[in-house]
Structure 1
């Protein structure tokens, strides 16, 4: 497993990953976080933050009508992480939120119009 990045390296890698995904106009970026309990006596644990591209650039092939990833796809997956100590969380989350917001500018707005549910839904709406 790759070593954890420093906060500045993590932010630059995350910015690059979000930019690449936006430029491709397809793909996903998965962000996760969890407490890292390294010492039972601490009141607030450190936080492990992970980011991955979900293997969006991996070559894929069709077999029997299903999408199958090739073995070479594992090498192209982008994964990185950082550990944030409890005393630095506020400053980290401020910068983290800014980077995530700027990286989401390429997202499409969700269509909130409700579609008719067929004949049974239309009858219930008229009654």
Structure 2
């Protein structure tokens, strides 16, 4: 796992990641969060019911794995792919409210360049494809 950033570094890196992804023709940004449970916790710590810190992650989803659907001629070109961007930070329970306020602002600002999903094609497929498709 990459080293956790402080909150300011995380927000500036996330802003950069969101703007660079929205400028490309395609791309995704995955945002995840989960409680950071320590393996050394004792029963006494669990009985006090102190909420654990939250691990916040952001990644652009790029992988270095070759595309199995790509033709073999494209694989020989060996274009240098961008490496996967991984960002993470740990938020303590007493800092959650201020962190989430800023996190929401950064995410909303980064989503301005997104395209709205085209739902018309999906609805048209659902209406016309009522029965099984058979080949003639």
- TM-score, normalised with respect to structure 1: 0.76
Show the 5 A alignment for 1:74-93: 76-93=83-100
Q: Return the alpha-carbon distance in structure 2 between the equivalents of residues 92 and 48 of structure 1.
A: 12
Q: Please report the RMSD computed on the Cα atoms of aligned residues, expressed in angstroms.
A: 3.0
Q: SS of the counterpart of 2:35?
A: strand
Q: Does 1:17 align with 2:24?
A: no
Choose the corresponding residue for 1:115, options 113, 118, 124: 124
Equivalent residue for 1:99?
A: 106
| Whole-Å separation in 2 of the counterparts to 1:88 and 1:76 | 31
Go from structure 1 to structure 2 and tell me whether the alpha carbon gap of 1:17 and 1:120 turns closer, same or farther (over 3 Å shift): closer
Q: Deviations over 1:34-70 (max 9, x none)?
A: 00123452521100001111007x6956246xx9xx7
Instruction: State the partner residue of 1:28.
Output: 28
Gaps in structure 1 of 5+ consecutive residues:
122-127
Worse-superposed segment, 22-31 or 112-121: 112-121
TM-score (norm 2): 0.71
Select 1:43's aligned residue among 22, 41, 50: 50
Aligned length: 117
Residue 134 of structure 2 is matched in structure 1 by none
Which whole-Å CA distance do the structure 2 matches of 1:22 and 1:110 have between them? Answer: 14
Paired with 1:43 and 1:34, the residues of 2 have a C-alpha distance of 15
| Structure (1/2) with the larger strand percentage | 1
CA distance in 2, matches of 1:84, 1:45: 9
Structure 2: where are the runs of 5+ without partners?
A: 132-136
